[in-house]
Amino acid sequence: MGTVRALRATQERVLRAAIYVRISQDRAGEGHGVARQTEDCQALCDRRGWTVIDVYSDNDLGAYVGKPRPAWERLIGDIEAGHVDVVVCWHPDRLTRQPMELEKIINLVERKGVDLATVTAGEVDLSTATGRAAARIVGAMARHESEQKAERLRRQKQQAAEKGLVSGGGHRAFGYERDGLTIREPEAELIREAADRVLAGETIASVCRDFEARDIRTTAGNWWKPLTLRQMLCSARISGRREHRPGKSSTAIIGEIVADAVWPGIISTEDSDELRAQLGRTGTGRITGATGRVYLLSGILRCGICTGRISGHNTGRGRRYYCPGAPGSTSCGRLTMGMDRTDIHIRDTVLLALDSPDFRERLHRRAKVDPAIRTSVKNDERLLSELDEDRTAGRISRARWLQMSDTVNARLETNRRKLAAVPSLRALEGLDGSYEEMLPVWEARNISQRRAIVTACVSHIIVNRAARRGPVFDPDRFDPQWLV
């Protein structure tokens, strides 16, 4: 620092100092609250022998956002009125974070001959070109810092997430009391039920419809919609874990698991991982197929002529499955069959297959998940959050961060797909014993649940042309593609 007029002037008379302090939103930064700033400034004035005429304190939330700062306005007024010889602040960025404000101060200082001293950056002599340049640089840096504030706030949220703290605001989470920590058992039971049913292959929409029929509502008092239910079932919360969703990307229904939470889980972490793997991706059939699948075998049956998916509809001739042959599609439209006979035939085919212990044994062997995949998913989720940390702390370059997170994300996606592809045998729970014993269980289940039983056994069922034309039902035209 060069020679400063304030220092020269000290020899002649006691200077009147105005301390300006401001707390910023950024509590993660220097962590200097108003009290500490004031103390430091006061100490500086004492050392210099300046008389503090007043402390101007703005409990502000960032000059950058342009909120009114009453103490700041008062300070400007007092400078204008000639009551101030030197303005003391903790750091130049406490004074102003906007270039326009800085120019205003420079102008004022020029006209009034006021000096500026800071605790951390020494004296800034705005009466010289060098001093002004320095102030502008500091100002520009402060501005840059302001612009990074959002990033730091995001980081703070992530830290809170990592600590497993309860985040406030919004509606009460379904399944928990308002404290976010205590399980509300009747709702928790519904979460477990929904999780089990969806893991058993029932569609989200089917569970929603059932909830509506039972007058089960969200904590906001609304009916459960597929998206809402999906979000809840995918949330790490219900497994007693914290997740962090980076950015505002609305498509990211699942974030990274960052920590065990302070609240207890309602479902197991294994079930949660499976739900997140199945439902976390957008645009999969399991999610969007929620709307129109009211028939047992639509989409499961494939046309033996064109291999297209067979649809169902209710016509004047009764309920029928048919190859749609829609204009512009590749399907042929040449196949049709009565629905009721077909449904009964496939039901019997599947239940008779399940009657065989050997078939069941093979299903169970196939349904085993390689534990290494689960471990890899967990590790990669952690790795991603560590990468974010490293990037935020500036330990790695942006290019490196992008490269590494792309690699990890790709592997994560592959493994999540693998997990989602493992057939779930939950649909078969309670469906034990002989064909006769299974029949009433089947009849007690809804269409979505029955579909899940079928798809736990077959990938699809090919329907060939009937051997004979006419109304006679031909069971031999069906060719189930068994999973095992």
C-alpha dist (Å) from residue 460 to 301, 307, 395: 6, 11, 51
Q: Indicate the pairing of strand 318-322 with strand 478-482.
A: unpaired
What is the identity of the amino acid at 241?
R
Residue 310 C-beta: closest distance to Zn ion, Å: 8
Count of chain residues binding Zn ion (CB under 5 A): 7
Residue 467 C-beta: closest distance to Zn ion, Å: 17
Residue 311 C-beta: closest distance to Zn ion, Å: 11
Residue 303 C-beta: closest distance to Zn ion, Å: 3
Which of 473, 482, 460, 475 shows the shortest CA–CA distance to 298? 460
Q: Indicate the pairing of strand 478-482 with strand 336-338.
A: unpaired
If you count them, how many residues does the chain have?
484
Computed over its alpha carbons, how large is the radius of gyration of the chain? 34
Residue 248 C-beta: closest distance to Zn ion, Å: 44
Residue 163 C-beta: closest distance to Zn ion, Å: 57
Kindly tell me which of 106 and 339 has the beta carbon lying closer to Zn ion. 339
Kindly tell me which of 247 and 327 has the beta carbon lying closer to Zn ion. 327
Residue 288 C-beta: closest distance to Zn ion, Å: 23
Kindly tell me which of 309 and 362 has the beta carbon lying closer to Zn ion. 309
Tell me the per-residue interface mask from 332 to 361 with Zn ion, x by CB under 5 A, - otherwise: x-----------------------------
Q: Contact 334/305 with Cβ under 8 angstroms?
A: yes
Interacting residues with Zn ion between 250 and 309 (CB under 5 A): 303, 305-306, 308
Residue 297 C-beta: closest distance to Zn ion, Å: 15
Q: Contact 153/247 with Cβ under 8 angstroms?
A: no
Phi-psi region of 325 (alpha: psi -120 to 50; beta: other; left: phi over 0): left
CA gap 183, 163 in Å, rounded? 20
Kindly tell me which of 306 and 383 has the beta carbon lying closer to Zn ion. 306
CA gap 421, 273 in Å, rounded? 13
Residue 458 C-beta: closest distance to Zn ion, Å: 19
CA gap 323, 462 in Å, rounded? 12
DSSP state at residue 176? B
CA gap 476, 361 in Å, rounded? 26
Kindly tell me which of 15 and 297 has the beta carbon lying closer to Zn ion. 297
Q: Print burial letters for 195-223: b (CB count within 10 Å at least 16), e (below 16).
A: bebbbbbbbbbbbbbbbeeeebebeeeee
Kindly tell me which of 331 and 415 has the beta carbon lying closer to Zn ion. 331
Residue 334 C-beta: closest distance to Zn ion, Å: 6
Q: What are phi and psi of 295, to 5 degrees?
A: -105, 150
Tell me the per-residue interface mask from 13 to 42 with Zn ion, x by CB under 5 A, - otherwise: ------------------------------
Kindly tell me which of 308 and 423 has the beta carbon lying closer to Zn ion. 308
Kindly tell me which of 37 and 331 has the beta carbon lying closer to Zn ion. 331
C-alpha dist (Å) from residue 363 to 202, 346, 351, 484: 19, 18, 14, 6
Q: Indicate the pairing of strand 241-244 with strand 256-260.
A: antiparallel
Kindly tell me which of 211 and 295 has the beta carbon lying closer to Zn ion. 295
DSSP state at residue 181? S
C-beta nearest to Zn ion: residue: 303
Interacting residues with Zn ion between 59 and 88 (CB under 5 A): none
Tell me the per-residue interface mask from 307 to 336 with Zn ion, x by CB under 5 A, - otherwise: -x--------------x-------xx----
Kindly tell me which of 399 and 467 has the beta carbon lying closer to Zn ion. 467
160 lines the binding site for Zn ion (CB under 5 A): no
The residues binding Zn ion (CB under 5 A) are 303, 305-306, 308, 323, 331-332
